[in-house]
Structure 1
Amino acid sequence: MSPVIDLAIEADGWTSLEAPSRLAEDAIGAAIAQSGVKLADGAEVSIVLCDDAFIAELNRKWRSVDKPTNVLSFPSGGDPSRTPILGDIVIAFETAEKEALEAGKPLRDHVAHLLAHGFLHLIGYDHIEDAEAEEMEALERDILARLGIGDPYRDAPAQVAN
């Protein structure tokens, strides 16, 4: 089952990304398929495509980190098979674009990675401990492979912050 995706574009830079709603559907669909997560009927995910200033304020408020980051996830908590509101994924344009350029990757591929990464957080994955990080990174590789996107951790990858 695919969740309802509510996507809001809150920064002008995102107009350069072709079909962001379709990208979100594809990335989250691949994450659902690869993770095997069972979602509640009517499950919903909110995605905000913003700028660095917007995400920096969220990062400062919720994580006490006074700088922008690429992606933040705000899980609603609880069992995804019982909780219809899964949470929010917020992605900053300038940081995502800079990381994609530095890694020599298309912005679209990097955003797909950030969407998959953010969604995994919403369904309970984390990367605080080394074993968790390895499990999450392996799952991200498999999700992106479903989308025809290469290993995001190969070579000099952009860091996924949250």
Structure 2
Amino acid sequence: MIQFFNEDIDFKVPQSRITKKWLLNIIEAEGFHLNQLNYIFCSDEYLLKINQQYLEHDFYTDIITFDNSEEDNHIEGDIFISIDRVKENATLHQKTFEEELLRVLAHGVLHLVGYDDLEDEQELQMRAKEDHYLSKL
């Protein structure tokens, strides 16, 4: 089950039904089973507080993913997304808001299935996976 929530903002995912199906397809294509996935949309300030409290990072970010799964190859997690940051990154990368939002939604799932982006090579692999799944939508 995939659910969308808001914390301190009012936001609705465009075409949420199609988006949920697309996210489930990513999970299944990566060989995982979905238990529960919550996306929580929020402001920059809200996500900054989470970043400081849980990760001890003092900077803005577009996404923070918490993996709550207890079984291998099962997805259970919470993904926090700053809509402020998605809007800014869309402008910065000359993408539409919707394109950037979909990239970030996929990015969180890819973290949960084991992809990372801390090193340059990992980031390239993550971008390639994002592009691959965006082309499937």
Cα distance change on mapping 1:143 and 1:44 into 2, 3 Å: same
Residue-pair matches, total: 137
Identity %: 26
Structure 1 residue runs of 5 or longer lacking an equivalent are: 148-162
| Other structure's SS at 2:117 match | coil
| Matches of 1:110 and 1:26, distance apart in 2 | 18
The aligned residue for residue 83 of structure 2 is 93
The aligned residue for residue 142 of structure 1 is 132
| Matches of 1:90 and 1:121, distance apart in 2 | 13
| Matches of 2:89 and 2:21, distance apart in 1 | 21
Structure 2 residue runs of 5 or longer lacking an equivalent are: none
Query: Which aligned runs of 4 or more in structure 1 are off by greater than 6 angstroms?
Result: none
The aligned residue for residue 39 of structure 1 is 33
The aligned residue for residue 11 of structure 2 is 14
Confirm or deny: 8 A CA contact 1:27 1:115 kept in the other structure: no
> 1:105-116 alignment to 2 at 5 Å?
105-116=95-106
2:44 is equivalent to residue 52 of structure 1: yes
Query: Could you tell me which of 60, 64, 72 is aligned with 1:72?
Result: 64
Cα distance change on mapping 1:133 and 1:79 into 2, 3 Å: farther
Give the number of the structure with larger relative contact order, counting CA–CA contacts within 8 Å between residues 6 or more apart.
Answer: 1
Query: TM-score of the superposition, structure 1-length normalised?
Result: 0.73
**1:59-82 CA distance string (max 9 Å, x none):** 11122112221011011245443x
Query: TM-score of the superposition, structure 2-length normalised?
Result: 0.85
